[in-house]
Amino acid sequence: MVNRLPSWIFLCLAILLMGFALTPLVRVALGIDDTIQMSFLTMVSILIGGLMCGLTAMLLLAKRQPELRTYFDDQADHVQAAKMHACGLLLFTGLPLANFLACYYLWVTSRSRSRYLDYQGREAICFQITIYLYLLMCLFMAYVIIGALAIPLLLIFSLLASLTAVASTLRGKQFRYPANISIIDRGMQTVPATESA
């Protein structure tokens, strides 16, 4: 049933819910309000709902892309691959789903250029979805102290992994994220190292 729904519905719901939950934090950070006007449980519950809608939208968008069998050429574009991995840094802007949407756009528009770009784009997309899954698990555990402690560690891991991916692809190497869930691989073969050199 969910597969038949347009992904933009889930995308809009995710942005609205996450924006609504994060607005009190932004207002306090900017000095507009002195205290957060929402209870902790309400904020976490709304964030969980927003993340679930966002994950649904990301999975629908990624799974609906057809698998490519032919590519225009076989030359690897390392700068474009680095841009796809750098989109993971948009997570730290606080804009809901910006990291996924930018990465998804770059992947869809450039994946037919080379097998290397398609593979690195799939890795970057899977990593963005994986980070949102891990954040969702942390928010569920935020009702106990463990989740609140795990969120900063997860954000540091995401930052380091994204920076390492950018540096690796700029050198022309393949990068495979640690702790990445291969959601959209569909039997994708890894690109030989000699091709990406």
Could you report the per-residue pLDDT of 106-165, keeping only the tens digit for each?
Answer: 999 988 888 888 889 999 999 999 999 998 888 888 777 777 788 899 999 999 999 999
Place of tokens 């930018």: 102
Within 10 angstroms of residue 96's Cβ, the number of other Cβ atoms is 23
CB 88 within 8 A of CB 180: no
For a pLDDT cut of 70, what percent of the chain falls above it? 87
CA–CA distance, 197 with 194 (Å, rounded to integer)? 5
Within 10 angstroms of residue 149's Cβ, the number of other Cβ atoms is 12
Mean pLDDT highest for which of 62-71, 98-107, 141-150?
A: 98-107
CA–CA distance, 27 with 32 (Å, rounded to integer)? 5
- 76: pLDDT strictly greater than 70: no
Comparing 11-15, 38-42, 163-167, 186-190, the range with the smallest average pLDDT is: 186-190
CB 28 within 8 A of CB 43: no
Average pLDDT, the chain: 83
pLDDT band at 2 (very low <50, low <70, confident <90, very high): low
